[in-house]
Structure 1
């Protein structure tokens, strides 16, 4: 068949790889100028690096298997990284169960209760049972109010803002249940996965075209071809189409009515700085900023996991956030935004000054974080659409997860198996 795939992220390229291997004529249309979607990369001193911090867990079998299939397994390493929490003006170690049981802002009884509630979430296998419960209410009851106030609520507010009280416990369960203490990273970056998938598609006669943002999709005759038009005016026909862009983009392209399920999902945008510094900024790989008044959610010093020698001696630091698309942190000029972040970076490291930053990069994405409320399940559309020739495989459909390379890969393979074979 002639198969069109909309989007060249993890889902789209994995599906294209599998479908091309099956002998189909595959064309991938990607709106951005690069492949990889939210795992797209830039370069730091000649080495590809993800625009938004990425790693995988030992539980991410779909991604690990794909890496092996592409011949990249020798480059995958799991690292024992460090985590900290910034609370009430102080940095606290939070890397191991021992650190958690010694966490000073909590009393011993609170620490034990926090540990027990986390162990419970690790033990529960079906997180969807928490779908209709609110995360803050659950942690206040089971982890205790003090642990909720110090640990969980600042993280939820930092990520979801005013929507934090509405977030489903299924979302928080997924964040705890599948995570492992060691983090996996590919020597040379995950960009290699996407270039290997691209090469695989091309070697089998497929095409991947960037700069082709979806404008319209229709199937006038249910038994006929699917018509796809991109914003540059190009038009193509396919026997089948797999759409991997966020629901709002698909809804616009199909002209779905306002009451259609496609319009129900809510998304936050993402903003992320990559700072190339001449020295270390924080003493951890990952630092949760547990202060709701802070303008960013987390600081990730990538070179606490990967040697600085990979990046010309630069210390690579991410400063990331999830915000509404009309928020000042999404709309402000990046140079000004970095200036406004400086006082907060100085709270994390009093010696820090912007002169440490030798170069910086800024990325923003409009649809990066679904807002997973108890009503979220009702906003998840089926893979089948109103057009017989069109299948939808998008971020919202990996519930109770909300994003992640491995879940995108797994969904791509499941959808190809179910709807294209």
Structure 2
């Protein structure tokens, strides 16, 4: 078949890799000028680095398997990283169960309840049964009100803002259940995975075109070809199309009406600074900001996991956020936004000065995080669409697990198996 794939992120490229392997004529159309989607990369001192912080867990089997298929396993290393929590104006270690049991802002009984409730989430096999429960209500019942107020509510508020009280417990279960203490990272960046997929697709006769933003997809005759149009005026025809772009983008291109299931997904945008510094800023890989007054939710010092020598001796720090697309942190000029973040970075490290930053990069994505409420499961569209020749595989269909590279790879392989063979 002639197959068109919309989007060259993890889902689109994995599907293309499998489909060209089956002998199909495959073209991938990517709206951006680079591949990788939310795992797209920039360059720090000659080394590719993800625009938004990325790692995988030891439980991310689909991603680990495709890395092995591509012959890249020697580049994948699992690191014992450190985590901290900023609360009450202080940094607190939060890397191990022992750290958690020593966490000063909680009384001993609260720490025990927090640890026991977290262990319970690890033991629950089917977290979908928690889908109709609100996360904050659940954690306050089982972890205790104090642990809910100090640990969980600030993290949920930092992630989802005013929607935090509505977030489903199934989403939080997945965040705890599938995580491992060791984090995996590709030496030289995950960019290598997407480049290897691109090369493999092209070697087998497939085509990948960038700068092809989707504007319309239609199938006038249910038994005929699918028509795809892109912003540059190009027009394509395919026997079947796999759409992997965010659900709202497909809804607009397909002309979905207000009551259509495609219009129900609600997304937050993401903003992220990559700061190249001449010294370390925090003593952890990952620092959760458990203070709702802060304008960002996490600081990630990537070079506390990967040596700074890989980036010309620069210390690489991410400052990330999930925000509505009309929020000031999404719309403000990046240079001004960085200036406004400086006083808050000084609250974490009083010595921090903007002169430490030798260079910086700023990225944002309009559709980065679905808002997973208790009725979310009912609003997930099926992979089959109203057009017989069009299949949808997008991050909003990953449930209850959160969106991520491994789930994107797994979904691509499942959809190819089910709808293209």
SS in 2 for 1:321: strand
Q: Determine whether 1:261 maps to 2:253.
A: no
* 1:128 CA drift (Å): 0.3
Unaligned runs of 5+ in 2: none
Query: Which residue matches 1:45?
Result: 45
How many residues are paired up?
Answer: 421
State the alpha-carbon separation in 2 of the partners of residues 113 and 97 from structure 1. Answer: 12
State the alpha-carbon separation in 2 of the partners of residues 91 and 155 from structure 1. Answer: 15
Q: Determine whether 1:220 maps to 2:245.
A: no
SS in 2 for 1:317: strand
Q: Determine whether 1:251 maps to 2:251.
A: yes
Query: Which residue matches 2:29?
Result: 29
Query: Which residue matches 1:278?
Result: 278
* 1:375 CA drift (Å): 1.1
Unaligned runs of 5+ in 1: none
Alignment of 1:337-376 (within 5 A): 337-376=337-376
SS in 2 for 1:59: coil
Query: Which residue matches 1:199?
Result: 199
Alignment of 1:61-100 (within 5 A): 61-100=61-100
* 1:401 CA drift (Å): 1.5
Query: Which residue matches 1:240?
Result: 240
Query: Which residue matches 2:164?
Result: 164
* 1:379 CA drift (Å): 1.4
* 1:362 CA drift (Å): 0.1
Q: In 1, are the aligned partners of 2:342 and 2:354 still within 8 Å (CA)? A: yes
Q: Determine whether 1:417 maps to 2:389.
A: no
* 1:402 CA drift (Å): 2.6
Query: Which residue matches 1:405?
Result: 405
Query: Which residue matches 1:314?
Result: 314
Q: In 1, are the aligned partners of 2:59 and 2:178 still within 8 Å (CA)? A: yes
* 1:80 CA drift (Å): 0.2
Q: Determine whether 1:395 maps to 2:395.
A: yes
State the alpha-carbon separation in 1 of the partners of residues 204 and 240 from structure 2. Answer: 18
Query: Which residue matches 1:323?
Result: 323
* 1:28 CA drift (Å): 0.2
Query: Which residue matches 1:15?
Result: 15
State the alpha-carbon separation in 1 of the partners of residues 372 and 157 from structure 2. Answer: 13
Could you tell me the TM-score, scaled by structure 1's length? 1.00
State the alpha-carbon separation in 2 of the partners of residues 108 and 132 from structure 1. Answer: 31
Q: Determine whether 1:132 maps to 2:132.
A: yes
State the alpha-carbon separation in 1 of the partners of residues 2 and 420 from structure 2. Answer: 11
* 1:62 CA drift (Å): 0.1
State the alpha-carbon separation in 2 of the partners of residues 213 and 246 from structure 1. Answer: 12
Query: Which residue matches 2:334?
Result: 334
Query: Which residue matches 2:116?
Result: 116
| Deviation digits for residues 308-358 of structure 1 (CA, Å, limit 9, x no counterpart) | 000000000000000000000000000000000000000000000100000
SS in 2 for 1:409: helix
State the alpha-carbon separation in 2 of the partners of residues 260 and 221 from structure 1. Answer: 21
RMSD (Å), alpha carbons: 0.4
Query: Which residue matches 2:381?
Result: 381
- Could you list the runs of 4 or more consecutive aligned residues of structure 1 that deviate by over 2 angstroms after TM superposition? none
* 1:255 CA drift (Å): 0.5
* 1:77 CA drift (Å): 0.3
State the alpha-carbon separation in 2 of the partners of residues 248 and 162 from structure 1. Answer: 21
Query: Which residue matches 1:3?
Result: 3
| Deviation digits for residues 90-138 of structure 1 (CA, Å, limit 9, x no counterpart) | 0000000000000000000000000000000000010100000000000
Q: In 1, are the aligned partners of 2:175 and 2:402 still within 8 Å (CA)? A: no
State the alpha-carbon separation in 2 of the partners of residues 329 and 257 from structure 1. Answer: 30
SS in 2 for 1:361: strand
State the alpha-carbon separation in 2 of the partners of residues 418 and 166 from structure 1. Answer: 33
State the alpha-carbon separation in 1 of the partners of residues 6 and 378 from structure 2. Answer: 24
SS in 2 for 1:275: strand
SS in 2 for 1:115: helix
Alignment of 1:146-165 (within 5 A): 146-165=146-165
Could you tell me the TM-score, scaled by structure 2's length? 1.00
Query: Which residue matches 1:292?
Result: 292
* 1:279 CA drift (Å): 0.1
